[in-house]
Amino acid sequence: MNIKKNSIVKNLQPVPESQYRHDAGMIPAGSVGRVWRVNRKSGTCNVTFKDSKYNNTHVIPMNQLETVDNSSQNQVPKPGDIFYTSWGYEQTNIDFYQIISVKNKTATICKIGSDRKYTGPMCGECSPVKDKFVGEPFQKRIVYSVNGSPSMKIASYAYATPVLHENSFFFSEWH
């Protein structure tokens, strides 16, 4: 069994939904989750399950887990796809990125500009402008969620996820 960080696994036995709530119920055997941490010394993994209503991380013995190949469910990004990050403290910064190319699990991306429309003092809505590149292209590793949705870690505080709608995004700037 080759379980490592970011492996997709299913539990072989039911798991309590929450160790802190007496009314939480159980996550049934066969539920799919992502491994966030592996402790080989204790033989346990920290797993978050797709169907967990509390989104808790569960510590589960490795012998109660089985790896699952869900690569066929992954929504592989294509050149031209747009991703965004939303980050900030006391303000909401939105950055957009466009996929230039994809090779295996690595994407070459470039930051793109946005149309900004102010709807109030120091806040408003923005939307991406495809092919309006800002700066140089760079590479990022693509990781997939339990449901196959791609994301990329842009910085320690920002993960890029796909733009899935035509709506604009709220931003605020307090400076």
pTM as predicted:
0.69
Displacement of CA 3 from its chain's centroid (Å): 20
Is the pLDDT assigned to residue 87 strictly greater than 90?
A: yes
Q: What percent of the chain has pLDDT over 70?
A: 90
Based on the number of CB atoms within 10 Å of its own CB, is 18 exposed (0-12), middle (13-18) or buried (19 or more)? Answer: middle
More confident residue, 20 or 76: 76
* Number of domains, the chain: 2
**pLDDT tens digits for range 30-56:** 888 888 899 999 999 988 887 666 667
More confident residue, 5 or 147: 5
Give the integer Cα–Cα distance in Å for 119 and 17.
42
Tell me: do 77 and 160 sit in the same domain: yes
Q: Which domain holds residue 112?
A: 73-172
The reply to whether 3 falls in a domain is no
